[in-house]
Amino acid sequence: MLYWRSNQLQSCIKGIQYPMSSSLLSANKLTCIREERILFDELSFDINPGDLIQIEGPNGAGKTSLLRILAGLSRPYDGHVEFNGDCITRCREEFYEHLMFIGHLAGVKGELTAQENLDFNLQMHGDNCDDIDGALASVNLTGFEDALASHLSAGQNRRIALARLWRSHAKIWILDEPYTAIDKAGIVELEKLFINHIDNGGAVILTSHQDITIGADRLKRITLDYNFY
């Protein structure tokens, strides 16, 4: 177990000790400050092919901030992120070709149908647009292909976003609360997809307030935890 400490935060990483050369993504001494608070300080770890990593901790500990830094959507106060050994600011185009990021919000357009939303997102990311109805069926949206997203529930909109994973070619999946508004059956199917992805050399980094049923032998955790004293 490795620890990073500041005067406000203790961060611990369990079971992640790999040589740098094998890493898809590397966090190097990341420090994040929000509203004059240190969320995490000099945080370093590697993400390797076959890794399924949950970032956990209380609200406000910096889970979403860390995901956004790893995805290159936010800059750390200090430190940097590397993709295949190169800083993501220098290989941004190549990095994004291998990244699938789905944030906490569904990110679908209410004026488009489920089918149109998925087709638009897949084309935008250069993913496989074949059998879009099949991808929607994978997330239990059969019969809703032509429904406007604005007429669907929060859970159904979330499933439109997640359907991209069934057609994604990206090696690195960064997912902020993917289980939000998803029922138990949907979570089971999603976790099967995660296992298939990492078994084929991909990596999944996610946050979740819900229990993850994937066995401890497959799941690693990064814990962000405020030290208020």
Same domain, 87 and 137: no
Cβ-based neighbours of 36, under 8 Å, separated by 6 or more: none
Same domain, 52 and 82: yes
> CATH code at 15?
3.40.50.300
Q: What is the pLDDT of residue 3?
A: 32
CA distance 223 to 229: 18
Helix (H, G, I), strand (E, B) or coil at 177: coil
Instruction: Answer whether residue 223 shows pLDDT above 80.
Output: yes
Q: What is the pLDDT of residue 2?
A: 33
Rounded to 10 degrees, what is the CA torsion of 142, 179, 46, 38?
A: 140
Q: What is the pLDDT of residue 213?
A: 87
CA distance 86 to 126: 23
Instruction: Answer whether residue 229 shows pLDDT above 50.
Output: no
Same domain, 12 and 92: yes
**Domain for residue 212, yes or no?**
yes
103-121, pLDDT tens digit by residue? 988 889 999 999 999 999 9
Range of the domain at 159: 109-169
CA max distance for the chain: 54
Q: What is the pLDDT of residue 215?
A: 86
59-78, pLDDT tens digit by residue? 889 999 999 999 999 999 99
Same domain, 188 and 176: yes
Same domain, 29 and 72: yes
**Domain for residue 14, yes or no?**
yes
Instruction: Answer whether residue 80 shows pLDDT above 90.
Output: yes
CB 176 within 8 A of CB 103: yes
- pTM (2 d.p.): 0.87
Same domain, 124 and 202: no
